[in-house]
Structure 1
Amino acid sequence: MNKRITRVLRLLFVFLCMNLVWYIVYLLMNHPILPSPGSVYKAMFQLEGREVLLNVGYSLLRILEGVLLALVIGLLIGLLMGRSPLWNKLLDPVVYLTYPIPKIALLPVVMLFFGLGETSKVLMIMLILLFQIIISVRDGVKAIPENTYDVLTSIGAGTVQKFWNVTLPGALSVILSTIRISLGTAISVLFFTEIYGTEHGMGYFIMDAWLRLDYPEMYAGIMLFSLVGFVLFLLVDLLDYKFMKWRR
């Protein structure tokens, strides 16, 4: 409990320091393009609650759909490559040739094939995460010592029990680490996808405020978008705390 309180206090301290730096820069610039922290927070609390919930809800739904889709596909392919040398030889060149492609560059292609609607937005998030999950899961599964499975075999454990007690925990650790690292990129991509073909989402909200030259509202939108990312990071930490107790 003391560690949690210490962590919360440390986060609050850093947050206050960031606001202090923001205020100092605001005083030095003295320009409308950078409003004061107070005016931004005031604009944030003056936002219509239904509009904020609608935009945040759309963004969160797109992120969760993309992450879940990437997890399902990436977990299956990563496990297959990690446990089967044959499939690893077949799929390894494909993964390594496609992984270096900057996924944000595929945004126009995805929109051409799938339109400007929800599908293209979710697919872009999925593409950002997919290859990282595949590689992480494959490497995590391959790193599990074979004698771990031998121990379970000796006590009569079946394939499902081996998967549930050894393979999945070994893969889950690297999955959570990969998601934690990739979420920031996924949220950034979501911002670009929400600029086009939609009237809902935090990306649309921020750009709409920018076009109206409403800078306090624009920064309020950025802070709300950052809050979405922060909540998702906390969710991953919660999953890590619940399922990775053996690491502590």
Structure 2
Amino acid sequence: MVKKKQIPHLIRLLFVFLGMNVIWYLLYIVINKSILPNPLDVYASMLHLDGQEIAIHVGYSLFRVFAGVVLALILGLSIGILMGRSPRWNKILDPVVYLTYPIPKIALLPVVMLFFGLGETSKILMIMLILLFQIIISVRDGVKAIPDNTYDVLSSIGADRVEKFWHVTLPGALSVILSTIRISLGTAISVLFFTEIYGTEYGMGYFIMDAWLRMNYSEMYAGIMLFSLVGFILFLSVDYLEHRFMKWRK
């Protein structure tokens, strides 16, 4: 159920969406070429797409994003928390992160495909690799920012490491974790498009490129709109988690 205080935000989103479509329509009139179709034609094309086919493409894309993000979060959270809580491990792993983080991971796509083939594994691994280091750094810094005296309070009442993690480390880093997930989703969706161009017949990236090669520009833009809608829904899911588990920020 939509709360009253959320209505102005939804109205602003609606106005921005309408404004973007107006700009799109004006560009369509100015450019007057088939490479930029009328937005109404694109929406009509969306309505005429095969629902079952689109569901398969979206399903494959969501699976790849979800698998890549989950793997990156499992590894990134574990390493980030370890580096944030242990000066010794931070001293050991920090140079590794420092040297490998600037490497453009998308350039490793041919290498990953050589080792793991053109199937699902290489696509999921590429998403994981690109997200992993930004998750490690964000979580490490978030955990380091938690004051030490917060743990001292629990130590004085006999809390063990698991209880300290559950009651202090995780809640203290949760804001950073959710922000990182939000950023990671945007990055993952961008990377997904490149990985779905090769070695697959399913996924929204493949669907968009296939429409482009057939010069069906209305269908191509329809695919881009659907791809954007998937990303928007994922962003809303993170907003819901933030509202659900971080009510103290409201």
| TM-score calculated relative to the size of structure 1 | 0.98
1:73-95 Cα offsets, whole Å, 9 max, x none, are: 00111111111111100000000
Measured in 2, the distance between the counterparts of 1:67 and 1:3 equals 31
Measured in 1, the distance between the counterparts of 2:5 and 2:30 equals 38
Q: 1:247, CA displacement in angstroms? A: 2.1
Measured in 2, the distance between the counterparts of 1:104 and 1:116 equals 15
Match of 1:145 in 2: 147
**RMSD between aligned residues:** 0.9
Q: 1:103, CA displacement in angstroms? A: 1.1
Q: 1:246, CA displacement in angstroms? A: 2.3
Correspondences of 1:1-248 after superposition (within 5 Å): 1-248=3-250
User: What SS does structure 1 have at the residue aligned with 2:240?
Assistant: helix
Measured in 2, the distance between the counterparts of 1:189 and 1:113 equals 19
Measured in 2, the distance between the counterparts of 1:170 and 1:71 equals 17
Q: 1:242, CA displacement in angstroms? A: 1.0
Measured in 2, the distance between the counterparts of 1:52 and 1:112 equals 29
Measured in 1, the distance between the counterparts of 2:63 and 2:104 equals 24
Measured in 1, the distance between the counterparts of 2:154 and 2:164 equals 7
Gaps of 5+ in 2: none
Gaps of 5+ in 1: none
Measured in 1, the distance between the counterparts of 2:169 and 2:189 equals 29
Q: 1:182, CA displacement in angstroms? A: 2.5
Measured in 1, the distance between the counterparts of 2:181 and 2:128 equals 11
1:151-197 Cα offsets, whole Å, 9 max, x none, are: 11122222211110110112221111112123222111100100000
Measured in 2, the distance between the counterparts of 1:133 and 1:171 equals 12
Contact conserved, 1:129 with 1:179, CA < 8 A, in 2? Answer: no
Q: 1:8, CA displacement in angstroms? A: 0.7
Q: 1:141, CA displacement in angstroms? A: 0.8
Amino acid at match of 2:162: V
Contact conserved, 2:57 with 2:204, CA < 8 A, in 1? Answer: yes
Amino acid at match of 1:227: L
Name the % identity. 76
User: What SS does structure 1 have at the residue aligned with 2:189?
Assistant: helix
Runs in 1 of length 4+ with deviation above 6 angstroms?
Answer: none
Measured in 2, the distance between the counterparts of 1:120 and 1:169 equals 33
Amino acid at match of 2:114: L
Amino acid at match of 1:81: M
Measured in 2, the distance between the counterparts of 1:132 and 1:3 equals 33
Amino acid at match of 2:123: K
